[in-house]
Amino acid sequence: MPPLPGSEARAETPPLHGHEAGVILQRVRESVDPELRSALESLPGSLRRVALYHFGWEHADGTPAAGNAGKAIRPALVLTAATALGGDRARAAAVRAAVAVELVHNFTLLHDDVMDRDTTRRHRPTAWTVFGDSAAILAGDALQALALRLLAEDPHPAAGAAAARLADCVVELCEGQHEDTAMEALDPGEVTLDQVLVMAEAKTGALLGCACALGALYAGASGEEVGAMDAFGREAGLAFQLIDDVIGIWGDPSRTGKPAGADLAARKKSLPVVAALTSGTAAASELAALYAAPYDEGDLVRTALAVEEAGGRDWAQVQASDRMGRAMGQLARAVPDPEAAGGLLSLAEFVTRRSA
Amino acid sequence: MPPLPGSEARAETPPLHGHEAGVILQRVRESVDPELRSALESLPGSLRRVALYHFGWEHADGTPAAGNAGKAIRPALVLTAATALGGDRARAAAVRAAVAVELVHNFTLLHDDVMDRDTTRRHRPTAWTVFGDSAAILAGDALQALALRLLAEDPHPAAGAAAARLADCVVELCEGQHEDTAMEALDPGEVTLDQVLVMAEAKTGALLGCACALGALYAGASGEEVGAMDAFGREAGLAFQLIDDVIGIWGDPSRTGKPAGADLAARKKSLPVVAALTSGTAAASELAALYAAPYDEGDLVRTALAVEEAGGRDWAQVQASDRMGRAMGQLARAVPDPEAAGGLLSLAEFVTRRSA
């Protein structure tokens, strides 16, 4: 299926920032991967296989694979925040924390895929489809334990506060996923925009905020700076989610790896959809009717148009810009020197523009 | 259904030790419950409901319940080990660690019930049958995070080592559960006794050992004492599992709350069953045949007899005594003063005799 109408109007990734972020992410992988891999290798045999498969370091049959463990945005935020506030020394000290955040992220992915019955992750079959639900749940449980063990064993003075903060974040991530699954069972008309925003902040914003806050903690930053870094990550995370939801409807299938309009086909109550449904427009009623019945041919295109006509797309893009503005404000509070803040700025722009 | 043949021959709980252990467990509940409850109350709304229901403090509709959160054996081991090696001051300092161990235990119960599709826990419907799989998985994830947060926030000098040890234990528990589910999918003839023993140590012994080790850490014990306390808990845990498996076949339904021979009806590869299957006796062949086909009337009684004739029951009881002997040896190494060791001895006898 070709891209849905309007998808050709996407802004291209600005090459300069994309390049900078690309360099940062590459360096982060080099710092983080050895420690991450050694944490996974410490797992007992059967769980190790599930974990190495999930991270892309093994094929389903246990033979080595090239690795495709995602973009490492979260560890990059930890290390870049540490550098911005404490230089190279803080960056070096924060590698374990960066690995812990990546382990937590992947524990939630393993569990979310089981709950959501998602069959594809990073262009490969999800772990539960290969090893079964129990193995995927247990591997996720073990990754959470590995994450908190890394911090428990870290002699750095910030490690205790970092562990407490990461554990709090896990609770918030669980709450976000719980709200998400509860909301998917509701009638679209029963969901408010505020509910979806709160859910998105818990499910996506919380861990990006925590990553930045951990970097700040390892740089010995003040409570106020740590708070501002957390808020920066949260706002950038919400901007990312808004853009991701736009891509989920109008993204180019050849670039997203998903069929056009995948989120609409799954009747996802994503941010632009709920904004459209609660707009009080004629298009909102049309959208509600389309979401309530099985799709006929051409209905997916009509549904995307209804979201757009009801203002859902514009709202999401304005909200995303607004959130990025707030993120910049928080970043300036935490790191007043624009040069020191440059890396975090590049990462925030990278995640919010990556393929929108 | 009446008890299976042989169940009348069970030893009664010795009233003295039972009473002593009962007093210890009651005091432990009084120390642990306020902190445990306040940890659960800190959860966000929807996950809090699942957790309070699981612990028996709320009914499914959210109204208050009397509480039925199990016997608190694991927190009792933490506090009694701390007392044995460091007196009342160590006991008071170890309350958070005791709560953390209880949270980890309950996180694994929530997840295991989802994986095993168990519908009853402590005489009530399991959380996943009431709130759904996702809610039970997420509540379990959150309990693990709460456990490690409690230790991360604990200023006690032993807290870091305790957190690392508890996280390692979680990995071992996951491995044990993984082995258990993998083994249930195997043909009974493919399972070795060694495999089941290793699995039982990981699934049951590891957390009892960890509980004792954490108590020792909070008492400022030496590495050798901590190791001996861990080994004491592991051996007692294996003895407990052996007795529990005997009860699962020959236990009195009016006391176990389960139908007679429940484990045989479910074709569980419990320790006495695998010992019987691998005994090379004629009864072993009969048992294998009975386990391979649907039960006719009277087959459950015949199956229990076959396990007994093949020596499975005797083996389990001898093994349990042997493990208890080893546990006593480790206890004497860690706590040479018999008076100081009395509480731990009572608890070990309580768990291994509770209804066998």
Q: Which residues of A touch B160 (CB under 8 A)?
A: 152-153, 159-160
Region B195-201 average pLDDT: 96
ipTM of the complex: 0.92
Contact between B114 and A137 using a beta-carbon 8 Å cutoff: yes
The answer regarding whether domain A13-353 maps to CATH 1.10.600.10 reads: yes
In this structure, are residues A236 and A327 in contact, taking their beta carbons and an 8 Å threshold? Answer: yes
In the predicted structure, residue B356 carries a pLDDT above the cut 50:
no
Closest Cα in chain A to B154: A160
Across the A/B interface, how many CB contacts are shorter than 8 Å?
142
For residue B263, the one-letter residue type is D
pLDDT given for residue A92 in this prediction = 98
With beta carbons under 8 A apart, name residues in chain A contacting B146: 167, 171
Chain B residues touching residue A111 (CB < 8 angstroms): 137-138, 141
Separation CA B44–CA A202 (nearest Å): 11
Output the pLDDT for position B6.
54
Query: Three-state DSSP class for A210?
Result: helix
How far apart, in Å, are the Cα atoms of B296 and each of A54, A167, B299?
45, 52, 5
State residue B7's pLDDT score: 52
Q: Please, are residues A104 and A174 in contact by the beta-carbon 8 Å criterion? A: no
User: Most B CBs within 10 Å: which of A50, A128, A149, A177, as the mutation test of the B interface?
Assistant: A149
Does the pLDDT value for residue B9 go beyond 50? no
CA distance linking residue B234 with residue A147, whole number of Å: 25
- Residue A14: the pLDDT is 44
Question: In chain A, which residues have their Cβ closer than 8 Å to the Cβ of B164?
Answer: 149, 152-153
> Which band of pLDDT confidence, cut at 50, 70 and 90, is reported for residue B15?
very low
Binned average pLDDT, 10 residues per bin, chain A of 356 residues = 50 49 92 96 95 96 84 95 97 98 98 94 93 97 98 96 98 96 88 95 97 98 98 97 93 76 88 96 95 89 95 96 96 95 93 66
| pLDDT computed for residue A298 by the predictor | 87
State residue A188's pLDDT score: 84
Contacts of B115 in chain A (CB under 8 A): 133-134, 137-138
Domain spans in chain B, listed from the N-terminal domain onward: 7-353
pLDDT-derived band at B179 (thresholds 50, 70, 90) equals very high
Give the closest of A46, A132, A152 to B163, CB-based: A152
Q: What is the mean pLDDT of residues B329-341?
A: 95
pLDDT at A117 (0 to 100): 93
- The predicted structure's pLDDT at residue B14: 44
| pLDDT tens per residue across span B233-282 | 999 999 999 999 999 899 887 777 677 788 898 899 999 999 999 999 99
The partner residue sitting opposite B142, judged by closest CB among A138, A164, A171, is A171
* Residues in B touching A184 (Cβ below 8 Å): none
List the single residue in B171, B175, B181 with the smallest CB-CB distance to A146.
Answer: B171
Average pLDDT over residues B35-48: 95
Contacts made by residues B322-326, CB under 8 angstroms, sequence distance 24+: B323/B235, B323/B236, B323/B238, B323/B239, B323/B242, B324/B235, B324/B236, B324/B239, B324/B348, B324/B352, B326/B231, B326/B235
How far apart, in whole angstroms, are the C-alpha atoms of residue A166 and residue A207?
8
Q: Which residue of B has its CA nearest to A135?
A: B178
Element of type H or E holding B199: helix B193-200
**Which residue in A118, A174, A198 has the most chain B C-beta atoms within 10 A of its own C-beta, making it the best mutation to test that interface?**
A174
Residue of B nearest to A40 (CA): B171
B296: left (phi over 0), alpha (psi -120 to 50) or beta: beta
DSSP state letters, B129-160: HHH-HHHHHHHHHHHHHHHHHHHHT--STTHH
The verdict on a CB contact (< 8 Å) between B144 and A146 is no
- H helix or E strand, kind and range, residue A106: helix A95-116
The Cα of B265 is separated from the nearest Cα of chain A by a number of Å equal to 23
At residue B336, the pLDDT reads: 95
Q: Is the pLDDT of residue B1 over 60?
A: no
Chain B, nearest residue to A142 by Cα: B171
Element (H, E) at A175: helix A159-184
Average the pLDDT over B160-182 and give the result: 97
Percent of chain B at pLDDT exceeding 70: 93
Closest Cα partner for B214 from B29, B32, B62, B83? B83
- CATH code for the structural domain at B7-353: 1.10.600.10
Which chain A positions have a beta carbon within 8 Å of B107's beta carbon? 141
> From chain A, which residues contact B within 8 Å (Cβ)?
43-44, 46-47, 107, 111, 114-115, 132-135, 137-142, 144-146, 148-149, 151-153, 159-161, 163-164, 167-168, 170-172, 174-175, 177-179, 181-182
